[in-house]
Amino acid sequence: MSAAARPPARIRLGMVGGGEGAFIGGVHRMAARLDDQYSLLAAAPSATPERALRSGRALGLDEARIYTDYEVMARAEAARDDGIEAVAIVTPNHLHAPVARAFLKAGIHVICDKPVALSSRQARELQRLAVRQGRLFAVTHNYAGYAMVRQAREMVRRGQLGELRLVRVEYAQDWLAEPLEASGHKQADWRTDPARAGAGGCIGDIGTHAYQLAEYITGLTPTSLCAELSTFVADRALDDHVQVMLRYANGARGTLWASQVATGHENDLRIAVYGSRGGLRWRQQQPEQLHWTVLGQPAQLLTRGGPANDAAAQRVTRLPAGHPEGYLEGFATIYSEIAQHLRAARPGGARAERAANFPTLADGLRGMQFIEAAVASSRRGGRWVRLPAAA
């Protein structure tokens, strides 16, 4: 029996943000735990000592490794023999870049929520820093973790759709249809505040997910866009709705719609891709199913774990068909792929990351460029604006 049978040691993980009342921090923790690839050992859950301590204790952390200052945490952990190898950044948007910077400088890999920064300039600086430090910068565009998204991507890659013609992605929610921020709702509060959320409201919070998903599945980055951001709720400082038309280099056309005021939609991310030979449709709220049509044949329902799943989908499948996997499993897939990537001792930087199936800072940067182009287009009254070419 070979030693190889030993399971690899768990990745030592830290977290910044995600204290009491936060939503996404808990999700990251469950995702990291599901496949047993991480140990959460340190955290800076809050800048307020009492809250930080309370949150850190509730996580079962050693009190010596509960921090209130992420700079301190980065240095302290870097100095320990058993210090964290990677940090998960789950703060409001404006802190993503400075926190990431601190940990990269300390030589610690970064797993960051989106949008990765407040500007594409910031994102590019982070990119340079990560390369210089040889550290990974992963971005939790978690929807890329669904098995049927992997299946769709593989079918596009293999040419089953023929030449791509149309890309339609939409992400509709309704939780901000009323001025929730006015009543002190924590999630609504920072997401509608330009100082903490950045220049984009809805477009940054969910539009970037939709944009990344379309890129991820199609392999195409748009060359230009025409966007209109709107704010329907009075006294709100950021957009709560965005509609965008997209052009691609190969002549394909696309649309992106993201709304947080679309009454009747909960977390309704959908994508459809149409080519000269076939068309695909997927919906996040029924993630186990991929609607697939070859031109001139009856539509097929591909199901996760069912017949006709490619290796790309099977690799990220835990349960047999009909035993629903969901949001956490997709998120966990991203985390587990990051762990495998780290264990393979691949250096950070663009080349290694390009080979990864999980999203990285390159995606995060393009997300920032998308936000900036859309905001610019909208400010000019809905003019077409060019997007930077994908690096």
Is residue 293 at the binding interface for a copy of itself, with CB under 8 A as the rule? Answer: yes
Q: Which of residues 351-390 bind a copy of itself (CB under 8 A)?
A: 381-384
- Beta carbon nearer to a copy of itself, 98 or 305: 305
User: Of 249, 295, 350, 391, which one interacts with a copy of itself (CB under 8 A)?
Assistant: 295
Provide the phi-psi class of 197: left if phi over 0, else alpha when psi is between -120 and 50, else beta.
alpha
Interface positions, 19-38, toward a copy of itself (CB under 8 A) = 23, 26-27, 29-30, 33-36
Amino acid identity, position 105: K
Does 322 help bind a copy of itself (rule: CB under 8 A)?
A: yes
Question: CB of 112: closest distance to a copy of itself in angstroms?
Answer: 20
3-state secondary structure of 247: strand
- Site track 57-96 with a copy of itself (rule: CB under 8 A), x = hit: xxxx------------------------------------
C-beta of residue 153 within 8 angstroms of C-beta of residue 216:
yes
In the complex, minimum distance from the CB of residue 118 to a copy of itself, in angstroms, rounded to a whole number: 25
**Phi/psi at 339 (5° precision):** -60, -45
List the one residue from 72, 237, 249, 299 that touches a copy of itself (CB under 8 A).
Answer: 299
Long-range contacts (CB closer than 8 Å, 24 or more residues apart) made by 60-63: none
Place of tokens 């999980």: 358
Of positions 7, 79, 81, 184, contacts a copy of itself by CB under 8 A: 7
Residue from 137, 216, 274, 335 in contact with a copy of itself (CB under 8 A):
274
Q: In angstroms, rounded to a whole number, what is the distance separating the alpha carbons of residues 328 and 31? A: 6
Task: Determine the size of the site formed for a copy of itself (CB under 8 A).
Answer: 97
Task: List binders of a copy of itself among 188-227 (CB under 8 A).
Answer: 226
139-178: contacts with a copy of itself (CB under 8 A): 161, 165-166, 168, 173-175, 177-178
Q: How far is CA 134 from CA 13, 79, 110, 193, 348, in A?
A: 18, 18, 11, 34, 5
CB of 354 to a copy of itself, least distance (A): 29
Q: Does 250 bind a copy of itself (CB under 8 A)?
A: no
Round to whole Å and give the CA distance between 161 and 156: 6
Sheet with 109-112, side-by-side order of all strands: 38-44, 11-17, 86-90, 109-112, 137-139
Residue 324 makes contact with a copy of itself by CB under 8 A: yes
